[in-house]
Structure 1
């Protein structure tokens, strides 16, 4: 599995060579590598074996003509390797790139001018036949073989919301209102549902002083659960299942009727091949979004495997079916051998009707979804190999680095998914909170480069794109030498935290999408991994404190993390944001899942409570850390009082060196006036107003 994953990453960085696209000249003449068509409205790229003089990229030496052989305006950029040309800002159509021999660094008698035809296509390319699908993967194999043969003389390049119950209870900390994301613990009607490997623990919490195990829902032995979600009286278990006979994995959604929580009824199971990125539920529809990597390497052995993803729906029988060709398309400007799969399931009427799966050739890793649109992102990798020893390919070390991000957009309406288009933005995206949709425009924050690369320092950008993914405005080159650690969009404002030695919090006005503007910044030690809105003018930041140390060997300062830290930022004066309040949590080595998984954040609006599971350590001798305890902490956070610790629900260490994994608090939830901590082997209840413990339920 890991082998395939790394092969996929490698292929992302390699531009596919389609035989017969144009004539190739053998060394020492100039050789070009590209694809004949770019299915995107934005750019097309070609790589040469000979370097190009940047000063010679003029209208006379390097230019584009249309189908009528007339010069057309285009943006032509020279890549960092000095051998790659990126042609952008062209409308759909057929073109030719002209590169006169004078543009090459060694324009000798054996160097010829280049005329390379290409096409810009703006729509999805449907796969029309099994033969065409096979040819797609054969092209990838040919390209991989060509790379092995020609590496010494050429440089490749990257081309409905659940109805609220009468009870006041915890909900999932979703990014977008009206778009459910699911979690490992969910609450409904005095019952707590928690994931435990291949089963779901259902806890009757009607009486917090007398917790009971209502039932345990057990899935198949080969099926593991990753998260749960609720929709009306449906409990949805999201997981993965390994099919030993087929030597592949399926991402699954198993639906239960929990009208009677003590006796859940199986309704349906839907699956798609591959591994899951995430799920979303909005407008009465469940979306499974994942990736699948077919074993097309068998084509080298003259075997013809089934290159189509498999799907499963228990309503249609017990067999796994290959996705029909009419459900498969090629995403613009991609050729990495991976499918992006999207399954949409209608949840109305007990989820017993439509399920629609579509496959798109072109993988993805990032995801953002609004109520009406789905955005997937994929990194575009670039890299330089080490020089082969004695020309041996096996001695090459290829170090990939993310340079840009490709964004794909679909408009969604129930189970209908309509592809809108694609674009590319500079830099890599951190996570879903670095993306947002507002009034039809898409906003994305990226980091370009590596903050440790002194030759080419990192820079951070914010881009605003319209409904067709055309750029409206941008803030570029923010905090040179640093990288984005967290971001949050709140309507007409964006908040971005970058870090290298200090933590600048940037406040950016995005009210005018054509002219986003940095209003102010705050520099403090440490950094925030997660930003959460308290109100319109206050943000909660959760991250780490840091300190500077000196390395006698390198004679340089370096930064290390110390304790966890939570801050309250006052941004009411946008030009002068302030850290209004802060608390230190534990010492060196302390951590919480909330740092990287916002689902772990506990929220109770009545008491203004915010909390999270936590494991506490403190600094010992030298670089040692000493275990102090595990549990959860609850804080009251208000604009008036700042941050105040209210509940310190910690099981202190009695000599243990490390935390107990089975007793680690995974989530903190509440129902009415009781708070519950949920671990793998126990659920504990507390009085919400003063955190007095009420009961413990042991789960075996």
Structure 2
């Protein structure tokens, strides 16, 4: 018992006399770093133990070649005191040396040597051993890692109309000449739409007598997500679970629709993983996806095939592993996910070549012009929760999305050449926050979070040249808010931010070295979708909002009410105006167009714009009442503003919610007829007066 009280007394003395005793803790240092970086980027490494600011000098921290020859280097310690950044190194193989004296005095650690390579261009993986070593290093980095999901952001704007020689609807693509596909496409008087594991083909040449002429069926494990057209080719994009590989395959199934009522299957091309999106330009289909290999089995001393699988029915029924010469490691990435790009030559009835490449380094967003592909990936930083738990949290990585990495390829048919990469502050909303103009890449980002009062959110615009070197920027736009939508229109850029009101900013980007904010408009609500009407007018679709008071917190807060569509006059760039506005439905009303620009209906001849809509209205105690669903068509002109022309709503007859099977998904036109397409029915109307003509039920 006496010994027990002596121990307690000793602990008490140590606790009240910290100046007399020095605690020395022996710990292992873990370092997190990518093995390769580009000459256009800085290389950095993060340690699990803090460093001393006054020891970041050549005596304690320095760089050598792989042959131990010291080389000049600019090395900076970031504010977290655990991350070292090595700047502006020439191409070559190096080692960063950190002497034990540089680490915090409270820890007894060993000196560290971290090898890294700076490259000018990405090269193919040279051996199976190199590929395996990449994943083994990844496992070492993830030994004490806990990954948190990043915040999801809402999509935004739309695109220019694409000219149609057949007087039919076309997909609302972001870039003219770059097809994106949709769940409904129209060709030569026939409507093709996705339904379950199949595609329905409707003969709409006689709008008074709609006919279901064909249903193309797929396996139960094959889910079609998108359709696209190229001449007489119908391309069905989907995800299929493969029993052979035990993984999902992103596939493109090609059909000859010269005879729409008898589609002829031509070819299937697939890549392992999940599809991110597709593009068609210059006679070439591009599949862009991600694949996450099961590299954890390396811990069990197994040697798995870590290469992605591909499939081409023109070459047989077997799945093939991607050859090493088709695999590269993207710089400054270490997340274990492949970005896979497959280019398919669509000329000659899809009998052309297929080229698939895999790049280690996953992606979350993409933008494509006719000559270049850009993909983006989030960059994470370590987040130490509390100083009180520092020793525990030193061994746990809690990453949060902070910045964005951009990768660029030039494309020429099936040829794809990696150009380089760059990093920008903040996270990108979606593809409409990105744009290419005269070879320069423009991107809007939001840094931080609107709820973080200590580090308020800020919004930025960055302009990079063809080599992804920064030319100019607008930084710290609308502090405390985040981006809800963006639109680039040549030498002008428009962005909507929001927290309590909706500022629409007009930015002059004519001089890429010096982009300038010209004007700002603040109105209640926000636009989460922008579409250009002409050079000086924008259509915005979003929500109205209202301020309420919380008696418990004694603070105001913002809630959405009805949908809202606005016409913005930006002819005076320094003084943008809300020229016209309409309210749509009541509280709870929504349209897919607010998060998916493909749902926008456009007809230039009548100046019509429309979209599917589900209508609700406010009831007592914040409840809502279902009122109906269908589509609404508006005439929108710079002279007259916004006028409702077609109110194609099926009113509620007592239902509490919309019927999913009959909810309108798309609105299209063929000549003088408008069609609404739902999962289980197609309806036709006269375009001039919206008189109902026929209804086709699809079972």
Q: TM over 0.5: same fold?
A: yes
Taking the TM superposition and a 5 Å limit, the aligned residue runs for 1:26-41 are 28=26, 31=29, 33-35=31-33, 37-41=35-39
SS at match of 1:326: helix
Q: Does 1:342 align with 2:350?
A: no
Q: 1:129 deviation in Å?
A: 1.6
In structure 2, which of residues 103, 125, 128 is the aligned counterpart of residue 127 of structure 1?
125
Q: Structure 1 residues 113 and 165 mapped into 2: Cα distance closer, same or farther (>3 Å)? A: closer
Where does residue 577 of structure 1 map in the other structure? 576
Contact 2:145 2:396 in 1 (8 A): no
Instruction: Name the CA distance, whole Å, in 2 between partners of 1:396 and 1:646.
Output: 62
Q: 1:113 deviation in Å?
A: 7.4
Where does residue 488 of structure 1 map in the other structure? 487
Instruction: Name the CA distance, whole Å, in 1 between partners of 2:53 and 2:524.
Output: 42
Where does residue 463 of structure 2 map in the other structure? 464
Contact 2:34 2:332 in 1 (8 A): no
Instruction: Name the CA distance, whole Å, in 2 between partners of 1:690 and 1:432.
Output: 36
Instruction: Name the CA distance, whole Å, in 1 between partners of 2:414 and 2:430.
Output: 25
Where does residue 451 of structure 1 map in the other structure? 450
Q: 1:28 deviation in Å?
A: 3.7
CA RMSD, Structure 1 to Structure 2 (Å): 2.8
1:416-439 deviation line (CA, Å, top 9, x unaligned):
000001111110000000000000
Contact 2:607 2:635 in 1 (8 A): yes
Taking the TM superposition and a 5 Å limit, the aligned residue runs for 1:560-571 are 560-571=559-570
Where does residue 525 of structure 2 map in the other structure? 526
Contact 1:298 1:305 in 2 (8 A): yes
Contact 1:162 1:231 in 2 (8 A): no
1:277-321 deviation line (CA, Å, top 9, x unaligned):
000000000000000111112222222222111111111111111
SS at match of 2:561: strand
Contact 1:609 1:635 in 2 (8 A): yes
SS at match of 2:89: coil
Taking the TM superposition and a 5 Å limit, the aligned residue runs for 1:546-561 are 546-561=545-560
Farther-moved stretch of structure 1 (447-456 vs 394-403): 394-403
Contact 2:458 2:477 in 1 (8 A): yes
Instruction: Name the CA distance, whole Å, in 2 between partners of 1:32 and 1:401.
Output: 19
SS at match of 1:305: coil
The structure whose RCO (Cα within 8 Å, separation 6+) is larger is 2
Q: Does 1:44 align with 2:7?
A: no
In structure 1, the gaps of 5 or more residues are: 1-25, 152-160
In structure 2, which of residues 131, 134, 137 is the aligned counterpart of residue 136 of structure 1?
134
Farther-moved stretch of structure 1 (383-392 vs 340-349): 383-392
Instruction: Name the CA distance, whole Å, in 1 between partners of 2:251 and 2:545.
Output: 41
Where does residue 534 of structure 2 map in the other structure? 535
Q: Structure 1 residues 685 and 75 mapped into 2: Cα distance closer, same or farther (>3 Å)? A: farther
Where does residue 282 of structure 1 map in the other structure? 281
Where does residue 167 of structure 2 map in the other structure? 168
Instruction: Name the CA distance, whole Å, in 2 between partners of 1:612 and 1:647.
Output: 11
Q: 1:220 deviation in Å?
A: 2.5
Q: Structure 1 residues 163 and 71 mapped into 2: Cα distance closer, same or farther (>3 Å)? A: closer
Taking the TM superposition and a 5 Å limit, the aligned residue runs for 1:193-272 are 193-272=192-271
Where does residue 16 of structure 1 map in the other structure? none
Q: 1:55 deviation in Å?
A: 7.2
Q: Does 1:614 align with 2:613?
A: yes
SS at match of 1:667: strand
Q: Structure 1 residues 403 and 314 mapped into 2: Cα distance closer, same or farther (>3 Å)? A: same
Taking the TM superposition and a 5 Å limit, the aligned residue runs for 1:385-400 are 386=385, 400=399
Farther-moved stretch of structure 1 (54-63 vs 502-511): 54-63
Farther-moved stretch of structure 1 (161-170 vs 417-426): 161-170
Q: Does 1:505 align with 2:543?
A: no
Q: 1:381 deviation in Å?
A: 2.0
Where does residue 591 of structure 1 map in the other structure? 590
Q: Structure 1 residues 582 and 63 mapped into 2: Cα distance closer, same or farther (>3 Å)? A: farther
Instruction: Name the CA distance, whole Å, in 1 between partners of 2:629 and 2:110.
Output: 70
Q: Structure 1 residues 557 and 75 mapped into 2: Cα distance closer, same or farther (>3 Å)? A: farther
SS at match of 2:81: coil
Instruction: Name the CA distance, whole Å, in 2 between partners of 1:115 and 1:392.
Output: 22
Q: Does 1:699 align with 2:698?
A: yes
Q: Which has the larger radius of gyration?
A: 2
SS at match of 2:605: coil
Q: 1:36 deviation in Å?
A: 7.0
Contact 1:373 1:412 in 2 (8 A): yes
Q: Structure 1 residues 675 and 546 mapped into 2: Cα distance closer, same or farther (>3 Å)? A: same
Q: Alignment length, in residue pairs?
A: 662
Q: Structure 1 residues 480 and 166 mapped into 2: Cα distance closer, same or farther (>3 Å)? A: closer
Instruction: Name the CA distance, whole Å, in 1 between partners of 2:569 and 2:333.
Output: 43
Q: 1:77 deviation in Å?
A: 5.0
SS at match of 2:689: coil
Instruction: Name the CA distance, whole Å, in 1 between partners of 2:301 and 2:59.
Output: 48
Q: Does 1:74 align with 2:45?
A: no
Where does residue 309 of structure 2 map in the other structure? 310
Instruction: Name the CA distance, whole Å, in 1 between partners of 2:88 and 2:486.
Output: 29
SS at match of 1:384: coil
Q: 1:39 deviation in Å?
A: 2.2
Q: Structure 1 residues 114 and 248 mapped into 2: Cα distance closer, same or farther (>3 Å)? A: closer
Contact 1:602 1:612 in 2 (8 A): yes
Instruction: Name the CA distance, whole Å, in 2 between partners of 1:483 and 1:286.
Output: 34
Q: Structure 1 residues 625 and 56 mapped into 2: Cα distance closer, same or farther (>3 Å)? A: farther
Where does residue 145 of structure 1 map in the other structure? 143
1:483-508 deviation line (CA, Å, top 9, x unaligned):
01011100001101111011111111
Instruction: Name the CA distance, whole Å, in 2 between partners of 1:457 and 1:61.
Output: 36
Farther-moved stretch of structure 1 (30-39 vs 465-474): 30-39
Instruction: Name the CA distance, whole Å, in 2 between partners of 1:169 and 1:62.
Output: 66
Farther-moved stretch of structure 1 (209-218 vs 683-692): 209-218
1:637-675 deviation line (CA, Å, top 9, x unaligned):
111111111111000001000000000100000011100
Q: 1:588 deviation in Å?
A: 0.7
Q: Does 1:645 align with 2:644?
A: yes
Contact 1:50 1:106 in 2 (8 A): no
Q: 1:131 deviation in Å?
A: 2.1
In structure 2, the gaps of 5 or more residues are: 1-23, 148-159
1:200-238 deviation line (CA, Å, top 9, x unaligned):
111111111111112111122321100100000000000
1:370-410 deviation line (CA, Å, top 9, x unaligned):
00000010111234365799999899997542101010000
SS at match of 2:285: strand
Where does residue 12 of structure 1 map in the other structure? none
Q: Structure 1 residues 392 and 298 mapped into 2: Cα distance closer, same or farther (>3 Å)? A: farther
Instruction: Name the CA distance, whole Å, in 1 between partners of 2:319 and 2:227.
Output: 24
Where does residue 635 of structure 1 map in the other structure? 634
Farther-moved stretch of structure 1 (266-275 vs 55-64): 55-64
Contact 2:32 2:141 in 1 (8 A): no
Q: Structure 1 residues 107 and 249 mapped into 2: Cα distance closer, same or farther (>3 Å)? A: closer
Q: Structure 1 residues 124 and 644 mapped into 2: Cα distance closer, same or farther (>3 Å)? A: same
Instruction: Name the CA distance, whole Å, in 2 between partners of 1:505 and 1:545.
Output: 14
Q: Structure 1 residues 163 and 29 mapped into 2: Cα distance closer, same or farther (>3 Å)? A: closer
Q: 1:135 deviation in Å?
A: 1.9
SS at match of 1:240: strand
Where does residue 479 of structure 1 map in the other structure? 478
SS at match of 2:142: helix
Q: 1:568 deviation in Å?
A: 0.7
Q: 1:192 deviation in Å?
A: 0.5
Q: Structure 1 residues 162 and 434 mapped into 2: Cα distance closer, same or farther (>3 Å)? A: closer
Instruction: Name the CA distance, whole Å, in 2 between partners of 1:111 and 1:278.
Output: 47
1:564-617 deviation line (CA, Å, top 9, x unaligned):
111111111111111111111111110100001000000000010000000000
Farther-moved stretch of structure 1 (630-639 vs 33-42): 33-42
Contact 2:33 2:46 in 1 (8 A): no
